A and B are shown apart, each in its own frame.
Chain A
Amino acid sequence: MSETPAKSAAITGAEIFVRCLQEEGVEVVFGYPGGAVLHIYDALYRQDKIAHILVRHEQGAIHAAEGYAKSSDRCGVALVTSGPGATNAVTGIADAYMDSVPLVVFSGQVPTHLIGNDAFQEVDTVGITRPCVKHNFLVKDVKDLATTIKKAFYVATSGRPGPVLVDIPKDVTAQTAVFEYPKQIKMRSYNPTTRGHSGQIRKALELILSAKKPMLYTGGGVILGRASEALTEFTRKLGYPITNTLMGLGGYPASDRQFVGMLGMHGTYEANMGMHHADVLIAIGVRFDDRVTGNIEKFCPYAKIVHIDVDPASISKNVKVDIPIVGQVEPILREMVREMDNMPDQPDQDTLAGWWRQIEEWRAKDCLKYDRSSPIIKPQYVVQKLWELTGGDAFVTSDVGQHQMWAAQFYGFDKPNRWINSGGLGTMGVGLPFAMGAQFAHPDATVTCVTGEASIQMCIQELSTCLQYHLPIKILNLNNRYLGMVRQWQEFFYQGRYAMSYMDALPDFVKLAESYGHVGMRIEEPGDVEGAIREALALKDRLVFMDFITDQTENVYPMIPAGAGQNEMILL
């Protein structure tokens, strides 16, 4: 594609594919080649605007594209071949679906005339992915390719974002058509709401301003909707306490006094007690997940609820709300801030002060305390040191398990898009590829991955990708030799019968890192934690794998056991 073809000349589907991505401003594609996408790879080879990153497993490609999207405001793009390439991608696609990550995934397909014949490397990709995509397409005619790709990016990134898959049969990439990329796309069946209903906004404000024990409960929608600035202004103006979901961390600065920490199963005492006793709940870009609500029957028994969400199906799905506002968080919060001063009633400052006194009493419990004098490395301490030494400004990815909760609890995120984890699907293995994606989106930033010795093994092959592309990620492996989260449940709820939760036969992670061409460190003493992290951060151009041998018996507190209410936490 060195020369630009004349406007009317027909070009191949593969070339059209490349041109479309260029039109969309795509800079990075994560992928893995195979028979069905060879024409596409050839077209990618013959251009130099789009970088293609070769991962080591298609699951890694999707997670990397997610990490790229979650850490920035761009759409992630991945490319896989038909059959096993597509099935390997499914976990990543489902992960993106649960966490509403804007993603366009392209999969190769067998030639159209072979579809349905059990052809070599054929699977019904559109059928397999249908329940875990926002939408998907099978392109049967090269003439439809450009419009379909335009639609895919539009659907993935608008409204409630999500993954869109485009399945492209091999013959479609060889056939030719005149390339024309639509400037805009209108779909009669898809018109997401942007601005909230003004009447609802006023009604909500009236309720919000009349609150005696208000609580702001905000989530992933604030990050996805780039609304953290608007949220901060709104929250400061109100002077109300605010809690974030796991997906909403960084949406409001954690270092601010009004922030009472994460809520939910492993949320803080003050956040959960505040929720339980609130009389007005202001829910913003959240989906009332069961990890947050605990027992639905006991959820916020005294509260009237306002809910802002772009997806009408999120509203009153799990919990009936009193005042719904459908639309994008950002413009709605901006309108609320503007309207607030014109409202007849303003919050009663004495009542609010009383509510704050109560919250401070709860906060004084210091529910995240742990034994700081322990001779064994405490995982919380490692995260706390990481926070200190990175000035709270690093990109932090995590895998799934106890380490994920400690990262969420102890790394205070002051900015959005810094915290990148898997909340909805809870996919072990995401940490390293998420970090790769984040590093590609922010080549000069400090990108760290807080993981566990079990999770990291689920996509460990990507260490090879990291070497190829010189990604200086800092991996902090909180190695407790256990499927710690599983072990904790077995300790609490199965009388300590630790079925299959011990991680036996672990590799020597230092040697493993070294064999992939990286730097490995093993840290066994609490006194060495800080020095090791410092040393690792100083190795600016190397990936460093820090294997912290941590306390095997440590549990995540507080904890709301399944079936309990938010005021029924287990504390240390």
Chain B
Amino acid sequence: MRHIISLLLENESGALSRVSGLFSARGYNIESLTVAPTDDPSLSRMTIVTSGSEQIIEQITKQLNKLIDVVRLIDLTPHRHIEREMMLVKVKVTDNTGREEAKRLTDIFRGNIVDVSQETYVIELTGHGSKLDSFLEALQGFPVMEVVRSGVMGIARGEVALHL
């Protein structure tokens, strides 16, 4: 089953490789991993999307917790939570119909066109991973030049929170 795990870790060089090294050394799946410093500069927040049997997920959370640099951890999966991913897509738009169609699709998906050149648009889109997938599907008629996805971030709804 797919799980989304959030962690707070010491914002120290090497902390990221301890986490990624753990996944490769123990053969755990890793679908995406995002990380950035938090409002407290001594901490980074990481979101990992992984999959495995219940027993493997249990081991993953235990092994992550065991890393000295991991301060707190939450498996968001059993909680009501929000998942967001950001995507930037560069598409080729050579004529007016293309430009209009791209604009229309972007609006439908509540995206933004953030860069325009003679023959290209860069579209920015945020949402659940499946929404981003659908958007790419909808864009199938266009020559897509580049796709950048941020990987998933997550946060629990309501009172549940991951903090010190």
Contacts and interface: CB of A to CB of B under 8 A. Distances in A.
Interface in B37-84: 55, 58-59, 62-63, 65-66, 68-71
Contact of B14 (A138, A155, A189, A311): A138
Nearest to B24: A131
A131 B21 CA distance: 7
Nearest to B18: A130
A190 interface: yes
Contacts of A510: none
Interface in B1-47: 9-10, 13-14, 17-18, 21, 25
Interface stretch (A73-81, A312-320, A557-565): A312-320
Nearest to B164: A188
Interface string A184-197: 00011110000000
Contact of B21 (A130, A135, A189, A316): A130
Contacts of A316: 55, 58
Nearest to B63: A313
Contacts of A311: 66
Interface residues of A, number: 20
A126 B21 CA distance: 12
Q: Is the interface of B mostly helix, strand, loop or mixed?
A: helix
Interface in B60-117: 62-63, 65-66, 68-71
A127 B17 CA distance: 9
A190 B66 CA distance: 8
Interface residues of B toward A: which range? Answer: 20 to 34
A contacts with B: majority SS: mixed
Interface string A291-330: 0000000000000000000011101110010000000000
A189 B14 CA distance: 15
B25 A312 contact: no
A317 B14 contact: no
A403 interface: no
A312 B65 contact: yes
A313 B17 contact: no
Contacts of A135: 68
A126 B14 CA distance: 9
Contacts of B55: 316, 320
Contact of B62 (A131, A134, A188, A313): A313
B18 A189 contact: no
A315 B62 CA distance: 9
A187 B14 CA distance: 17
A188 B71 contact: yes
Nearest to A160: B66
Given A131-B21, A312-B62, A317-B59, A190 B14 contact: no
21 contacts: A126-B14, A127-B17, A130-B14, A130-B17, A130-B18, A131-B25, A134-B68, A136-B14, A155-B68, A187-B68, A188-B164, A189-B9, A189-B10, A189-B68, A189-B69, A311-B66, A312-B65, A312-B66, A313-B66, A316-B55, A320-B55
